[in-house]
Amino acid sequence: MNNFDYITATDFDRAWLNFELDLPLKPEKNGKPNPFYIDRPGNPIVELTDALLAPFYRPPKFFFSGHRGCGKSTELLHLLGNPQIQKKYWPINFSIREEADIIDIDFRDVLLAIGGRLFREYRRRGGELPDQLLKELNSWKGKVEKEISTILEGRVSNIELGASIDMFFANAGLKMKLEPATRVELRQVVETDITGLIAIINHIATAIYTKERLIPLILIDDMDKPDLEKARDIFHDRREIMMQPNCAIVYTVSSALFYSKEFDSIRDQALFLPNINLHTPTNPNDHHAEGYKTLQRFVHLRMHPNLIEDRALDDAIGYSGGVFREMARIMRTAIGRARRRNAGKLDSTDIEWAATEIRNEYRRILDKEDIKLLKKVAENNRLEYSDRLRPLLQLLALLEYRDGENWCDVHPVLRKLLDD
């Protein structure tokens, strides 16, 4: 979608498009927020923005997390469009999916992606790097290619990475992503001279700062997708290496890491994007007016109020658990049913249908022990037994909230399942 397409729907066809589940909201070119953007209550992106704008001795690194579907990608794009950030930084945003295989990823892939995107993005925007740096990059590229050839020892391979530095970085990322054999060889070479790769990143960052008088800021999305073991390897075991690049970086991080003992390694620079509070702990019927208003606005920006009954909208909000993506999923499923029955307006039966569809998905994957644990959490709303809660939190069967102290509750669609 482009900016012109962000219009409030007056029919279900348009509404269906507006509730697309994977639609990070890019700011407009003039720096204004996207027309669909919602500034949630107590938004921690303000804290992250303040931290980036504060004085520092070395460019800072932050670890940004939250539940699946809570709006991390949208918040990073919103940060990218902040005029104060643009005044201080030379920012770029990319998804690690574009540069590496997120199922099989390690710290070397991430560092190569950082260096490659920094170089290619600066050149793409018309930036010119000093001849001395280009010579250094060519020398490093030649060393990498020579060492790969030594590893191959004459074996046939399509490992060639490109004659120019631009093509080298582009092809290295593509081969890291698509070719497991090449991935192993490149990692082996990078491992032998990790300080050399970091030096290359730092020289590129320094050259950009010298030319632009702006500090490079890299926002890496989808780093929350790898499993806990890979997150531990990158952000706990290799934490010091990941802090070395001489540019500001915001890494997205798996929420599972926040529920593990290894969280201590990133604690001081970590920010968590919680779900929107819709009720008080232990009392689902005690509604938070501010949370409900936030999600009402989320819907009304995308769809005219005349297309949904007030009661149905409140039901949808309650079932969403305060998760933006779950809200979009409920609305989309309900819209589909309303279209099939040729309705002019969504009602509570459409919302109940959507909630039942989601509940049925959980029936297939939750076992008796899961149900027992969910019932206990529903009674006390405590974040305990993290090892056992972690997979349920990642499934969104459990949702975390912050209201002074942090607490959790079952996904609202599951309450009927617990009562069975």
Tens of pLDDT, residues 250-260:
999 888 888 77
3-state class (DSSP) for residue 8: coil
- Cα separation, 34 vs 25, whole angstroms: 6
Residue 187: what pLDDT?
80
Looking at residue 81, the DSSP 8-state letter turns out to be: T
Residue 269: what pLDDT?
86
> For 153-169, what is the mean pLDDT?
59
Residue 68: what pLDDT?
82
CB atoms within 10 A of CB 39: 12
Q: Are strands 279-280 and 283-287 parallel, antiparallel or unpaired?
A: antiparallel
Which range, of 148-152, 216-220, 321-325, averages the lowest pLDDT?
Answer: 148-152
Tens digits of per-residue pLDDT, 64-122? 988 888 888 888 988 988 999 999 999 999 999 988 888 888 898 899 899 989 999 99
Task: Read off the pLDDT band of 3 (50, 70, 90).
Answer: very low
CATH 3.40.50 domain locations along the chain: 45-273
- Which amino acid, residue 377? V
Task: Read off the pLDDT band of 186 (50, 70, 90).
Answer: confident
In the beta sheet, which residues pair with residue 66?
A: 273
Which range, of 25-29, 103-107, 198-202, 214-218, averages the lowest pLDDT?
Answer: 25-29
Token code pair at residue 13: 């066809």
Residue 384: what pLDDT?
72
- Which amino acid, residue 211? K
Are the C-beta atoms of 58 and 111 separated by less than 8 Å? no
Tens digits of per-residue pLDDT, 278-298? 988 878 788 889 999 999 999
Judged against a pLDDT cut of 80, whether residue 268 lies above it is answered with: yes
What value does the mean pLDDT of the chain take? 87
- Cα separation, 237 vs 260, whole angstroms: 14
- Cα separation, 35 vs 289, whole angstroms: 23
Residue 153: what pLDDT?
58
Sign of the dihedral defined by the CA atoms of residues 189, 194, 200, 201, in that order: positive
Least Cα distance to 221 among 24, 21, 38 occurs for 24
Judged against a pLDDT cut of 70, whether residue 57 lies above it is answered with: yes
Which pTM value belongs to this model? 0.87
What is 45-273's CATH number, 1.10.10, 1.10.357, 3.40.50, 1.10.3470?
3.40.50
More confident residue, 171 or 213: 213
Tens digits of per-residue pLDDT, 121-140? 999 899 898 999 988 888 88
Task: Read off the pLDDT band of 2 (50, 70, 90).
Answer: very low
Residue 348: what pLDDT?
96
Please give the helix or strand (H or E) that residue 217 lies within, else none.
strand 215-221
Task: Give the Å distances, CA to CA, from 310 to 274, 286, 351.
Answer: 26, 18, 12
- Cα separation, 392 vs 332, whole angstroms: 24
369-384 CB burial, b ≥16 within 10 A, e <16: ebbebbeebbeebebe
- Cα separation, 411 vs 61, whole angstroms: 32
Name residue, tokens 């029919």: 11
Name residue, tokens 């997390």: 65
> For 257-281, what is the mean pLDDT?
84
